[in-house]
Chain A
Amino acid sequence: MVTIFEKLIKKFLKNLFKKKKHIKLGLYGPPNAGKTTLANKICEDWLGEDMGKVTNMPHETREIQIKEQVNIKSGNKEISFNLVDTPGIATKIDYEDFIKFGMGEKKAKERAKEATKGVIDAIKWLDNMDAVVVVLDSTKDPYSQVNITIIGNLQARNIPVLIVANKIDLKKSKIKKVEAAFPQYHVVGISAKDGTNIDEFYESLFKVVG
């Protein structure tokens, strides 16, 4: 009698923990690729709220942003994610680039410092991730040091990767080029801004983490 009771408790606890498991999903990529726009789209779709501010100026996200318990459904499956939006990773951060957007020198230098700290933090957080969506701007050359270093390091750490070729709503967008650059990965072309192909993105995400 006791054994059955114990078994039931064990089963109950097991299910409890199963339900509590959230997949930590990191959004990584170079600045201005659309990581926060995608994070916002995901949050709007499943939570009905935004995650972060989006502007045209690079390095808008300079701190790690987390949204917990984002339950995404695709087909018959439902997976709970902890969504982690990260600052854009860059090799050069120059305050003069921000001045071009009309920012004052003092603020621009502060932003450059924060962006540098953001890159360091984003890299530090990489080992925390269960899976990563690498968001690339499909209008830009995918063969950059930033892209190759991020993807290479994810591979070395055995973290599942989905590559998003974002901004397919723009004329210059070339998904084929992104696919050719990273042939061993699943690449999904989307427009995070207008939601084009977002269902395909969720399907692909489930294939990668499932």
Chain B
Amino acid sequence: MPHQCVRCGKLYEDGAEEILKGCSCGGKLFFYINKKKLEEQQKIVQDLTQKEKKEIEKDVFDLIGEERDKENPVVLDLESIRILKPGKYELDLVHLFKKRPLIYKLEEGKYLIDIPESFKREEE
């Protein structure tokens, strides 16, 4: 499955070093895209202005909240949430209810590790 840098739109295949370390443009947010939706999604990212890309980046980092490790890139699974433009979200409820992680945090030496911590239910 391809990963697309939200900032510059560059695509990376699974396991690419850039996904772990951040894109060559400095971007640390990737969209994880289903191959079938690749063209459609590429167009969405292409049509975004620089300002919009930055807004989306900030919004996604806000959505993840404090769990985010600022050093490492994150990958948002577009199967669950699509962001068409800043402030325009499409949610796939079937995926969300399946409790698949929305966001993958990447660490060196590990590939696509979900962060159950960020999805842990709040303590009662």
Contacts of B124 in A (CB 8 A): 24, 128
Contact code string A116-151 (vs B, CB < 8 Å = 1, else 0): 110110011111100000000000000001100100
Which range holds the interface residue count of chain B? 20 to 34
A88 → B minimal CB distance (Å): 12
Q: For the complex, give the distance between the alpha carbons of A116 and B81 in Å.
A: 9
In the complex the two chains form, what is the Cα distance from A127 to B119 in whole Å? 12
- Asked whether any CB of chain A lies closer than 8 Å to the CB of B121, the reply is yes
Partner of B90, one of A89, A91, A117, A153: A91
The answer to whether residues A123 and B97 also contact, given A113-B59, A113-B63, A117-B63 and a CB cut-off of 8 A, is yes
Determine whether A112 belongs to the interface, using a CB cutoff of 8 Å to chain B: yes
User: In whole Å, how far is A58's beta carbon from the nearest beta carbon of chain B?
Assistant: 13
**Chain A residue at minimal CB-CB distance from B64:** A117
One of B62, B87, B91, B119 near A91 (C-beta < 8 A) = B91
Inter-subunit contact A93/B93 (CB<8 Å): no
Chain A CB within 8 A of B88 CB: yes
Alpha-carbon separation in the docked complex, A113 to B63 (Å): 7
Residue from A108, A112, A123, A124 in contact with B89 in the complex, judged by beta carbons closer than 8 Å: A112
* Contacting pair A112 B91 (CB below 8 A): no
Digit string of B74-114 for contact with A (CB within 8 Å is 1, else 0)? Answer: 00000001000011111111101101001000000000000
Judge whether B88 and A112 touch: CB under 8 Å: yes
Could you say which of A105, A108, A119 contacts B91, with CB atoms under 8 Å apart? A119
Interchain CA distance A44-B119 in the complex, whole Å: 33
CB distance from A30 to the nearest CB of B (A): 11
Chain A residue contacts of B69, Cβ below 8 A: none
CB < 8 Å: which of A91, A109, A119, A125 contacts B86?
A: A109
The reply to whether the CB of B55 lies closer than 8 angstroms to some CB of chain A is yes
Complex CA gap A64/B99 in Å reads 18
**Complex CA–CA separation, A17 to B82 (angstroms):** 45
The 7 A-B pairs of least Cβ separation, nearest first, read A95-B87, A109-B87, A112-B87, A149-B93, A93-B89, A116-B89, A153-B97
Q: Can you report 24 A-B residue pairs in the complex whose CB atoms are below 8 A from each other?
A: A24-B124, A90-B91, A93-B89, A94-B88, A95-B86, A95-B88, A105-B87, A109-B59, A112-B89, A113-B59, A113-B62, A116-B89, A116-B91, A119-B96, A120-B63, A120-B81, A120-B102, A123-B93, A123-B99, A124-B122, A125-B121, A128-B124, A149-B93, A153-B97
